[in-house]
Structure 1
Amino acid sequence: MTTAKTPRPARAGRPTKRQSERIAAEIVARARELFIAQGFAATTMEQVIAACGIGKDTLYRRFATKEELFAAVTQKALERTEAWFEAVAAECPERPLDRVRHLARWFLDANLDPELLALKREAFIEAMRARPLVGADPFTPKLAEAIRAAAAAGELAAPDTDFVADQLIAALVLGPSNAALMGDDTLADPAARDAWFDRAWRLFVEGAAPGRG
């Protein structure tokens, strides 16, 4: 007579690719919350482990350092920003100069977005410590393309479109963005931002109009 063997508990295997991707996404999401709430320097890998409810090895197999983890957070933010930009670009008016205005307004909104501001602030602080944590800006070249089209249509005097794109961003974005980084919330109100942008845009266009330079 044979006796039935008690089945052994199934051993937990390595996570599937999909499970691993979900774990990584959860780590990045929790780390993003911590980096935004308390900054890069104050956030520790141990805090991320606790927030995710995972083991130490689970984190370090995916992100060997805090810098790698922050880079993943900023990469995810960049992907969301790119999707936002593409949605805005898809709704651009047909007239070339109106397209430039539409995209320039997006630059202002993106640079005053609270989450992007927080990540930008932390990246700037770490860059000042000789540890740059973000890559090149992928959006300014697209604005330059729109300026090039407006110049070709005779709506802007823009012999150097890259230079004009930089100046447009400087005129319409950098001031408010830098002020917001320092805690100024004057343009957090949409109506105030509309009014400011309209004034700045008129000044820029009048200075860049054909035959004025």
Structure 2
Amino acid sequence: MARRIPIPAKLALRRGRPTSTEVALIEQAILATARSMFLADGFDGVSMEKIAAATGITRTTLYSRYATKSDLFRSVVRETLARWYAVSRVEATDRITDIGQILHLRVADMASLLVDPLFRGLHALILLNRHRFPDLAPLMHDLGYLNAVRLLANDIRAAAQRDGIPVARPEAVAEHILTAVHGWFLQYDLVRELTAQDIEAHGREVVDLMLLARDRW
């Protein structure tokens, strides 16, 4: 459900009016640099001047795009979340018809996401600043959790049609799977370092148990 987003090198642009390609590169570099600095030093530990210098642009260029550091922070979060959750294993599930295999793929993706340092850092940053930016936590909930619910529910609904097994509440089944995996992760992550393999193994057990009650879905 997520892919690591690389941070580009400091920009080295030619003099004069930037081309459309350079404008896009500038924007990508600003967001990537700001994301890296916010994750490393927190919202209050970063200034617009430091972001401009680290990106290789002038303060005027930065402020022409983002009037305030808050505007830039929101854009960093929105862009990162949108890019993360736009990526899924749709192409893999298109070639797989067994619902068990599909759901195993989904929990494997979830496991990889939960241990991704970039995801964990962004999640912690949003929680730490949720009162200052009350719009971002609901955004992460929608693009993260609710998006995953919709994805699993679509898998379940499609499998029901293929297999001729009615499903009354695909969204509820998806939520049961997701919360069982994520809730387990939250508890055990407090006492030991979990790997993606640990989480995936638990997720597969959850899926297999849910499949035993498929006729009650």
With structure 1 as the length reference, what TM-score do the two structures score?
0.76
Are the aligned partners of 1:67 and 1:133 in contact in 2 as well (CA < 8 Å)? Answer: no
Are the aligned partners of 1:89 and 1:103 in contact in 2 as well (CA < 8 Å)? Answer: no
Q: Counterpart of 1:140?
A: 149
Amino acid aligned to 1:22: L
One of 195, 199, 203 as aligned partner of 2:205:
199
Structure 1 distance, partners of 2:135, 2:117, is 21
Q: 1:33, CA displacement in angstroms?
A: 0.9
Q: Counterpart of 1:163?
A: 172
How many residues get paired? 195
Q: Counterpart of 1:22?
A: 25
Structure 1 distance, partners of 2:192, 2:131, is 24
Summarize deviations over 1:15-65 as a string: whole Å, max 9, x none: 222222111111111111112212223222222122123221111111222
Could you say if the C-alpha distance between residues 196 and 142 of structure 1 is closer, same or farther in structure 2, counting changes exceeding 3 Å?
A: closer
Structure 2 distance, partners of 1:89, 1:210, is 25
Structure 2 distance, partners of 1:156, 1:128, is 45
Could you say if the C-alpha distance between residues 178 and 123 of structure 1 is closer, same or farther in structure 2, counting changes exceeding 3 Å?
A: farther
Structure 2 distance, partners of 1:28, 1:116, is 15
Summarize deviations over 1:127-164 as a string: whole Å, max 9, x none: 24453226222333122101212344569774111222
One of 58, 67, 76 as aligned partner of 1:55:
58
Structure 2 distance, partners of 1:108, 1:190, is 5
Summarize deviations over 1:61-92 as a string: whole Å, max 9, x none: 1122223222332333234424541xx22123
Are the aligned partners of 1:104 and 1:143 in contact in 2 as well (CA < 8 Å)? Answer: no
Which SS does the other structure have where 1:195 is aligned? Answer: helix
**Higher relative contact order, structure no. (Cα contacts within 8 Å, ≥ 6 residues apart):** 2
State, as a whole percentage, how many aligned pairs show the same letter.
Answer: 26
The answer to whether the aligner puts 1:113 opposite 2:116 as a matched pair is yes
With structure 2 as the length reference, what TM-score do the two structures score?
0.74
Residue ranges of structure 2 left out of the alignment (5+ in a row): 1-14
Greater Rg, structure 1 or structure 2? 1
